[in-house]
Amino acid sequence: AQTVTQSQPEMSVQEAETVTLSCTYDTSESDYYLFWYKQPPSRQMILVIRQEAYKQQNATENRFSVNFQKAAKSFSLKISDSQLGDAAMYFCAYRSEDFGNEKLTFGTGTRLTIIP
Amino acid sequence: ETGVTQTPRHLVMGMTNKKSLKCEQHLGHNAMYWYKQSAKKPLELMFVYNFKEQTENNSVPSRFSPECPNSSHLFLHLHTLQPEDSALYLCASSQLIGVTGNTIYFGEGSWLTVV
């Protein structure tokens, strides 16, 4: 079974600065998908960024980028130019590439606080 | 407006009540999910439906009964719940693996309090 670990329960960053959230996972599969989701106080889970394991290039989405290290099974999220609206819980998630095993496995989350 | 809508957003029920949570997706997806989010725990997958067929029941107690009448609608029927069942219940949908667009999209959740 796959597991996802987020070792930072809480992080804080000054507005306009850069912060990196850590995520490691454990799997025996070679093809899979990794995601970062954001959960603001409204509680809706919003997709931030996704990465296909077969792609070597790190995904980027505006101010959000990942550092995907497949051999190390590491998938960190970097938020540049942090904004007040980035304050939320951030969840790292793993999804198998196997047909019939479409579920997401989540980490425990990192609460990000933005300091004005 | 979200592509996955859940109703009600908040529900308070007694342990002997019967209630239902409803989820509807407007994204043309063919897989739907129920997740449970409790305080200080990772999100827990409860059920998965692919093309209306249940493909996963993650050892969920029978007091939770899912129903998927079509690919766009998913219900969670609740009966004789316990206070520890109080949580945020999140519905989600996606296309199946192997089809384009395998990202899972979530609704805003239904807050359930069992008294």
**Distance (Å, whole) CA B82 – CA B113:** 10
Model confidence band, residue B77 (pLDDT cutoffs 50, 70, 90):
very high
Candidates A103, A112, A17, A34; CA nearest to A73 is A34
B48 touches chain A (CB under 8 A): yes
Q: Is the pLDDT of residue B39 over 60?
A: yes
**What is the mean predicted confidence (pLDDT) over B82-94?**
94
A45 touches chain B (CB under 8 A): yes
A109 touches chain B (CB under 8 A): yes
Q: Dihedral through CA B65, CA B69, CA B70, CA B76, nearest 10?
A: -30
Q: What confidence score (pLDDT) does residue A8 get?
A: 96
A81 touches chain B (CB under 8 A): no
Q: Which amino acid is at A55?
A: K
Using CA coordinates, name the residue in chain B closest to A90.
Answer: B42
Q: Is the pLDDT of residue B82 over 80?
A: yes
* Closest residue to B31, CB basis, from A4, A102, A108: A102
More confident residue, B84 or B52: B84
Is the distance from CB of A22 to CB of A34 less than 8 angstroms? Answer: no
8-state DSSP, B52: T
Q: CA separation (Å) from A30 to A74, A82, B39, B62, B98?
A: 14, 33, 32, 35, 15
Tokens of A17: 């600065």
A85-111 residue pLDDT tens: 999 999 999 988 776 666 789 999 999
Asked if the Cβ–Cβ distance from A103 to B48 is below 8 Å, we say yes
Q: What confidence score (pLDDT) does residue B40 get?
A: 74
8-state DSSP, A58: P
B-chain residues within 8 Å CB-CB of A106?
42-43
A21-76 residue pLDDT tens: 999 999 998 888 999 999 998 888 999 999 999 888 999 999 999 999 999 999 99
Q: Which residues of A47-86 are buried (b: 16+ CB within 10 A; e: fewer)?
A: ebbbbebeeeeebeeeebbbebeeeebebbbbbeebeeeb
Model confidence band, residue B97 (pLDDT cutoffs 50, 70, 90):
low
Q: What confidence score (pLDDT) does residue B23 get?
A: 98
A92 touches chain B (CB under 8 A): no
Q: What confidence score (pLDDT) does residue B101 get?
A: 47
Q: CA separation (Å) from A87 to A36, A49, B113?
A: 14, 16, 26
Candidates B63, B38, B39, B60; CA nearest to B48 is B60
**What is the mean predicted confidence (pLDDT) over B28-48?**
89
Candidates B57, B90, B51; CA nearest to B71 is B51
More confident residue, A8 or B98: A8
Is the distance from CB of B7 to CB of B25 less than 8 angstroms? Answer: no
Q: What confidence score (pLDDT) does residue B98 get?
A: 54
